[in-house]
């Protein structure tokens, strides 16, 4: 799915594993926000635009899942 700003967002499923992949020229990765997704690190103060980082760990926990993030200069992939 093309995104505003020239990025792309793809969602796929392989069996029970879901994968969200984001690519684009203006992709910003805040390590503190992403590190908190697995429940290991404390979430820093967030803005309304970052609320998904507060909601996703609880949603995944309810499904007995955890998130794994992989990122490089081309984009990021969130697997759960």
Q: Is pLDDT at 3 greater than 70 in this prediction?
A: no
Predicted local confidence at residue 79, as pLDDT: 94
Question: CATH no. for residue 34?
Answer: 3.30.565.10
Q: How far is CA 8 from CA 38, 39, 51, 53, 75, in A?
A: 24, 27, 21, 20, 9
Q: Is pLDDT at 10 greater than 70 in this prediction?
A: yes
Asked whether residue 46 is domain-assigned, the answer is yes
Asked whether residue 58 is domain-assigned, the answer is yes
Asked whether residue 3 is domain-assigned, the answer is no
Asked whether residue 23 is domain-assigned, the answer is yes
Q: Is pLDDT at 2 greater than 70 in this prediction?
A: no
Asked whether residue 59 is domain-assigned, the answer is yes
Residue 34, domain extent: 8-79
Predicted local confidence at residue 43, as pLDDT: 85
Asked whether residue 1 is domain-assigned, the answer is no
Asked whether residue 2 is domain-assigned, the answer is no
Summarised one tens digit per residue, pLDDT across range 17-74 is 999 999 988 777 888 888 887 666 788 889 999 998 889 988 998 999 988 889 888 8
Tally of domains within the chain: 1
Q: Looking at the DSSP assignment, which residues form a beta bridge with residue 19?
A: 12, 79
Q: Is pLDDT at 1 greater than 60 in this prediction?
A: no
């Amino acid at each position: 799915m093309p995104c505003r700003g020239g990025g792309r967002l793809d969602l796929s499923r392989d069996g029970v594993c879901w994968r969200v992949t984001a690519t684009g020229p203006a992709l910003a990765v805040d390590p503190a926000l992403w590190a908190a997704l697995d429940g290991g690190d404390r979430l820093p103060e967030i803005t309304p635009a970052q609320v998904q980082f507060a909601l996703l760990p609880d949603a995944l926990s309810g499904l007995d899942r955890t998130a794994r993030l992989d990122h490089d200069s081309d984009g990021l992939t969130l697997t759960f």
